[in-house]
Structure 1
Amino acid sequence: MTNEIKILLKGLNCANCANKIEAKVNALKEINEANINFSLGIIIISINEKSNEEEVINKIKKIVKELEPDVVVSKYKKNNNNLKMYKSSCKEGDCCSTHYHLHESHGHSHSSDNNNHSNENHSHSFEKKDFLQKNSLAIIGILLYIIAMFFKEKSYLNISLFILSYALIGENVLRIAFKNILRGEVFDENFLMSIATLGALVIGQYPEAVGVMIFYKIGELFQGYAVNKSRKSITSLMNIRPEYANLLTKSGERKVSPEEVKVNDIIIIKPGERVALDGIIFEGEGAIDTSALTGESMPREVYKDDEILSGSINLNSVIKVKVNKSFGESTISRILEMVENASNKKAPTEQFITKFSRVYTPIVVFLALAVAIIPPIIVKGAVFSDWIYRALIFLVISCPCALVVSVPLGLFAGIGGASKKGVLVKGGNYLEALKKIDTVVFDKTGTLTKGVFKVTEINSLYIDKDELLKIVALAESFSNHPIAQSIVKAYKKQINKEEVSNYEELSGHGIKATIQGKEVILGNYKLMKDKNIDCEKVTKVGTVVYVSINGVYNGNIVIADEVKDDSKESIKKLKALGINKIVMLTGDSKLVAEQVAIDLGVDDFKSELLPVDKVVQVENLIKEKKSNGKLIFVGDGINDAPVLARADIGVAMGGIGSDAAIEAADVILMKDNPLALVDAIKAGRKTNKILWQNIIFSLGIKIIVLILGTFGLATMWEAVFADVGVTLIAVLNSMRALKI
């Protein structure tokens, strides 16, 4: 047995350090698995049942203190304080001046907006003052550097000004590097930058040594700012957690935390307020904005007895809701949980970068040593100082920050961008796999069709159509079967059940009853034959209900499941994306399946299947695939759990309210629309494209500068750009994944 704990790492802005923390925590004997979500600043750990939780947290605090002494470690608690955006001034050693964390809560009243604006202005002024205080030495150092640059020739005064300015500007970098050496952390960016710039001072490159340190620190500042803005952009998509609920009690209305509300309690949602918990509308009606859940911009009308999901916003009227799920089990809570846990399932690209970053720095450092030592020995007339300078360029470039920062941010941005479109992806591995889709398999009922039966035809003989519908509706009014309910709904008039007597259900066949003094039999064709009623078999798409009155066949009613409005368009767009094969599976008859398949334009279909048969069909399709592409199964998430689990990627359609969908699926389409699958695939492809742009760009620039530096064609200025400049560009590029 294991116990999962979430721990906040406030002020963690170094992705390389995050990877080191994750590796060291995973090495603890009490830990089964640890995954760090750099984008949210959370580490999720799974500990052995026998381990002491407090002792494990203390060990993690010790690890973090060694690697990142200024990061504040605390246990994550699911409350409003943890899920608000906070800003705090970073201590010395952090690479940014402000840190944005987790979720920002949106107030709906003007007063709260004004307070937020006032607080924000106060916070900005505080940050400016704090920034100036913390960087006063560096500012003085820059002024001394500018003065020193006015001296055209080297002098003791000139050199002294450069060394003093270097000490003031690089003080915290040198201090952190020294501490890291004592802890054995040699391949750290602070240490490498210190060695590179000190080396430049030793060989007499004073202006360049100080200038590189200045631009390194400025670059780190911008990089930290970009990372935090990126985090803020990503987490702003999750600003859907309600801060309070209006609980109706015997003594009146009371504002409480959503966690305090129990199942069957009544809550009041006023216009402009966010729905705090899932429930059924007890009183009232109106329009709700579900865009935060489904990505749909159009409001949805809701009425008494309709289900309403937490996270939606009530637009125009007071609604009373009877709560049917505790907050921990509510839709909004589960969405936030899934997004926070998305880092647990790392994408292959992220795994590759994590492994690559561990060997990249040592390789480049050893190459730097080789460049510094070998050429002066074997090349005639070579000057040691020239080759040492070239080696220093290697050291500046030796940190893989651009990759270890931009890849996890890009993946999380992709997951955030998909959620904005109403697509929940449970992990980076699934997001990346979406780019490789080769085959899409759809369930029919509830996925491509509405799963709601509707009367499509009334065919009467010797009787008026309205009269035939009335008789059938009276007979079916005692049944809860969806087909029976669709007929009652089609009648639209008041039903007097007293007109029905001798009601009898004929299992698997139909109904027999006396209605208005007449003997009525209705059901399938087999029932008509068994009762020796003369009629012809009707071939129609849907379920045919045959009707006999006093032993005479009087016609039939056809009930069919409607195809969703966007199903045909989604099939067309999937083919335009290059999907090779689209298959439909259904338990319906071949006649119904064939008609729907022709209407939608799917490549193949299989009918009259049980749930276990669908698993077999999916397994056969996986075996038949000629390419290395992935197979997606898209189902309604209620009866399709086995096949959702068997597919390469299981996608639940419209299953946000379904526990079965959330548990079984890898991707959840929160709006009941197959078109959202197109958005999911586009999100996967765009994110993957951005990741590889960052990888190729980052490594490409570094390799080019390394080659130029080897031949003496690059300076440390270019090396700084290849480090912090490239990282900044890669982070900004990652943010494009927020928009599909």
Structure 2
Amino acid sequence: MANSFYRTYKIEGIDCAACASQVESTLQKLDSVHTVSLDFMAKRLHVTISTDEASVLSAWNQIEKKVMSVEPDVKLTTETNTPGYRMKRPSLDVFTIIRFGIALVFLGISFFVESSFQFFILIGSYVVSGYDVVLKSLRNIARGNIFDEYFLMTLATIAAFVIGEPHEAVAVMLFYQVGEFFQNYAVNRSRISISDLMDMRNEITHVLENGRLTDVPSEQVPIGTTFIVKAGQRIPLDAVVTKGTSLIDMKALTGESIPVRVNTGDTLLSGSINSEAPLEAISTASYEDSTAGRIIDLMEHATKQKARPERFVTTFARYYTPIVVIGAVLMALIGSIVTSDTEQWVYRSLVFLVISCPCALVVSIPMGFFGGIGAAARLHVMIKGSVHLSSLAKASTVVFDKTGTITTGEFALQDIFTVPNSKYPTQRLLQLAASVELHSHHPLAKALVEASREPLLQASEITEYSGQGIAALVDGMHIVLGNRNMLETYGIEIDEQMVPEGLYMAIDNRVEASLRIGDKLKERVSETIEDLQRLGISRIAIISGDRNEHVRSIAEQSSIEEYYGQLLPDQKVIKVQQLRSDVTKGTVVYVGDGMNDAPVLAVSDVGIAMGAIGSEAAIEASDIVVMNDDVSKVVDAIEVSRLTSRIVLQNIIGALSIKFVVMALGLFGITSLWAAVFADTGVALLAVLNSLRPLLAVKRMDARHM
């Protein structure tokens, strides 16, 4: 019986996006492979196989051999074999720079020597600058791979020698290599820049055992281990403080700029920084299951699920190169037959060969999404895949859960409605109510006690009715606070024309007021709703299990016109499904706090969990995780996703347009091989730089939260 098995490989030594695409398509043809995704930017190969238990090892071996047959220079390691893995920081290859310099000098000298020596100098320049390209092309030909960039570049430049254009042959090879060099350097720098934003690990833990400190790799520290975190160090593992007090900087996790005071018994989250004094703590999670480990794992696998543009480019590249190469051959043959000018038409076909490599297109799309996901991470918004980022960019409807999402979850007195001609001032009514509620265990009681500005009075004969209210004697008056059932128990009549529904307050058997108590609205909620409307979100709604009047009050405070209250969890699912069915264009985004929200997060097009820093369940259930309670991060996420989508579209249109324009010019003999090289490596470099724009936009968004 076949079972599914999953493995992630780290893949080093693959610098060509088109080659990565070829590895992916080759593995897809294997019978044992169920799904495969090669993330060129994160240097990860995700593979799911479907086979029986006895064949698992041979299936993995087959996959590894197949990868090596396509790209012999790559190095594959499973994630479990490389603890503490970090991307290598790129450096300029001095040998390569010297090699290119020598080739350039030879090319320059060739213009000033006699023709008899000129050819040999140009051959020397060609060998120095492009020997590795030629060797790779020969090796690939031996494996039957004739449509890769190395073969195409070798064929084009050698053909240029043959038709009497040796200077152009050397120049094209040299500038192709220089372009590839800077493109790879830019891509690797981008990888590191984005990865550094998310790097919150401390790979060494100072374990305390028998009064001595020992440095132990964090991934080897078991749960229940006592360790020390020195001042200024990043906390390596989730833990509980057992001794000491200090200030903890949570900025890397939540963006919160004010340090949090922790004492004995308080929780520590890995990735935060101990900024004041040493702490002794006991670990409560392993390295990989701690907060920082889960976040890093989330980001490292973020591009595993590919968005539609990525899938399009992969399919397009599969057919683009063969078609262009065939077009180049036909152009040379037909043009030579029709005009008898073989040399001219061969030259024109070489332009097609140089431009037939799809690298500029293939690298620009994942780079665009990688930049967007990295920018969102800088804003403490973790997007679990480019497919979710792409869906968020199309958002037309945003649905908020109420409690814990746009409200704090803490109750506060919102209003007091007194009956006409009441003899009690508002502050006196509040003083009496707070004096009674001081003796209640109900969550609403605290809100009334905190709201009173007057000294509280002594209460006696206190009687509390579970789920209904409380009664007591205060200052010689009989006070009843509760719902309709509570007052009816005491035979007190309620005239709804006198006071609206709420927490009724009766004094000596007469209703004097009703009090409205509800959740506190979070900061920036109203501004967030305005920003969403500015972004063109056509429908904004609140759904909640709370009573309708409470939901209506929050909706009014936050300027949201559509709201639905008194919904059970399954009714929330049905309501979101109804909202989805109403949408003809765009996607439905659900924003919750991750508590009991999993079913609703699942049925929405994009599920966003707010404040899910320590909630493994919320991280699992959602598509996007906001690591703090700032609701305005939803706006940031949408802005980043839309900017990223525009950049991806710009990269696609730009790369294709320039390639097709150069092809058209080449067909009519108007352009040269130099322009073709720019249309390949130059455009790829521009696309990489364009993909970094979301990281610049982050500074503007950060300023908005200050």
Scaled by the length of structure 2, what TM-score is found?
Answer: 0.89
What is the DSSP-based 3-state SS (H/G/I as helix, E as strand, rest coil) of the residue aligned with 1:40?
coil
Of 309, 322, 331, which aligns to 2:269? 309
Q: Which residue of 1 aligns with 2:486?
A: 527
What is the deviation of 1:262? 4.4
What is the deviation of 1:601? 1.2
Q: Which residue of 2 aligns with 1:75?
A: 78
Change (3 A) 1:229 1:538: farther
Give the AA of the match of 2:106.
L
Counterpart CA distance in 2 for 1:340 and 1:663 is 15
Q: Which residue of 2 aligns with 1:678?
A: 635
* 1:154 matches 2:111: no
What is the deviation of 1:414? 0.6
What is the DSSP-based 3-state SS (H/G/I as helix, E as strand, rest coil) of the residue aligned with 2:669?
coil
Of 581, 586, 590, which aligns to 1:629? 586
What is the deviation of 1:535? 6.4
Of 340, 343, 366, which aligns to 1:408? 366
Of 555, 568, 582, which aligns to 1:610? 568
* 1:448 matches 2:406: yes
Change (3 A) 1:534 1:41: same
Of 210, 214, 217, which aligns to 2:177? 217
Which stretch of the first structure deviates more once superposed, 678-687 or 138-147?
Answer: 138-147
What is the deviation of 1:185? 0.6
Which stretch of the first structure deviates more once superposed, 654-663 or 437-446?
Answer: 654-663
Give the AA of the match of 1:219.
G
What is the deviation of 1:53? 5.0
What is the deviation of 1:393? 0.8
Q: Which residue of 1 aligns with 2:701?
A: none
What is the deviation of 1:341? 1.2
Q: Which residue of 2 aligns with 1:117?
A: none
Alignment of structure 1 residues 7-406 onto 2, 5 Å? 7-48=9-50, 50=53, 52=55, 54-77=57-80, 80-82=83-85, 84-86=86-88, 98=90, 128=94, 130-131=95-96, 136=99, 140-151=102-113, 154-155=115-116, 157-251=117-211, 253-263=213-223, 265-302=225-262, 306-379=266-339, 382-406=340-364
Unaligned runs of 5+ in 2: 698-706
Counterpart CA distance in 2 for 1:324 and 1:233 is 31
Give the AA of the match of 1:691.
V
What is the DSSP-based 3-state SS (H/G/I as helix, E as strand, rest coil) of the residue aligned with 1:650?
strand
Which stretch of the first structure deviates more once superposed, 511-520 or 35-44?
Answer: 511-520
What is the deviation of 1:148? 2.0
Which stretch of the first structure deviates more once superposed, 191-200 or 332-341?
Answer: 332-341
Give the AA of the match of 2:157.
T
Change (3 A) 1:396 1:340: same
What is the deviation of 1:54? 4.3
CA contact (8 A) 2:502 2:514 kept: no
CA contact (8 A) 1:525 1:546 kept: no
* 1:436 matches 2:394: yes
Q: Which residue of 1 aligns with 2:664?
A: 707
Q: Which residue of 1 aligns with 2:437?
A: 472
Q: Which residue of 1 aligns with 2:8?
A: 6
CA contact (8 A) 1:542 1:592 kept: no
Q: Which residue of 1 aligns with 2:645?
A: 688
Give the AA of the match of 2:486.
L
Give the AA of the match of 1:704.
V
What is the deviation of 1:553? 7.7
Unaligned runs of 5+ in 1: 88-97, 100-123
What is the deviation of 1:301? 4.8
Give the AA of the match of 1:149.
F
Counterpart CA distance in 1 for 2:524 and 2:499 is 23
Give the AA of the match of 2:314.
T
Q: Which residue of 2 aligns with 1:112?
A: none
Counterpart CA distance in 2 for 1:282 and 1:588 is 39
CA contact (8 A) 1:439 1:631 kept: yes
Counterpart CA distance in 2 for 1:482 and 1:323 is 33
CA contact (8 A) 1:541 1:591 kept: no
What is the deviation of 1:645? 0.9
Alignment of structure 1 residues 488-527 onto 2, 5 Å? 506-510=465-469, 523-527=482-486
What is the DSSP-based 3-state SS (H/G/I as helix, E as strand, rest coil) of the residue aligned with 2:302?
helix
CA contact (8 A) 1:453 1:486 kept: yes
- Percent identity, aligned pairs only, is 38
What is the DSSP-based 3-state SS (H/G/I as helix, E as strand, rest coil) of the residue aligned with 2:198?
coil
CA contact (8 A) 1:413 1:735 kept: yes
Counterpart CA distance in 2 for 1:197 and 1:541 is 86
CA contact (8 A) 1:311 1:332 kept: yes
What is the deviation of 1:589? 2.2
Give the AA of the match of 2:315.
K
Give CA-to-partner distance per residue, 1:56-95, whole Å, 9 cap, x none.
Answer: 443333223222222222222276531x3435xxxxxxxx
What is the DSSP-based 3-state SS (H/G/I as helix, E as strand, rest coil) of the residue aligned with 1:596?
helix
What is the DSSP-based 3-state SS (H/G/I as helix, E as strand, rest coil) of the residue aligned with 2:88?
coil
Q: Which residue of 2 aligns with 1:592?
A: 550
Change (3 A) 1:715 1:553: closer
Counterpart CA distance in 1 for 2:293 and 2:139 is 42
* Corresponding pairs, count: 687
What is the deviation of 1:370? 1.4
CA contact (8 A) 1:283 1:321 kept: yes
CA contact (8 A) 1:271 1:317 kept: yes
Counterpart CA distance in 2 for 1:31 and 1:540 is 69
What is the deviation of 1:578? 0.9
Give the AA of the match of 2:47.
I
CA contact (8 A) 2:436 2:470 kept: no
Which stretch of the first structure deviates more once superposed, 671-680 or 507-516?
Answer: 507-516
Change (3 A) 1:309 1:221: same
What is the DSSP-based 3-state SS (H/G/I as helix, E as strand, rest coil) of the residue aligned with 2:343?
helix
Q: Which residue of 2 aligns with 1:647?
A: 604
Give the AA of the match of 1:707.
A
Counterpart CA distance in 1 for 2:477 and 2:231 is 53
Q: Which residue of 1 aligns with 2:702?
A: none
Scaled by the length of structure 1, what TM-score is found?
Answer: 0.85
Give the AA of the match of 2:484.
Y
Give the AA of the match of 1:329.
D
Q: Which residue of 1 aligns with 2:673?
A: 716
CA contact (8 A) 2:203 2:219 kept: no
What is the deviation of 1:573? 0.4
Counterpart CA distance in 1 for 2:231 and 2:344 is 72
Counterpart CA distance in 2 for 1:143 and 1:461 is 97
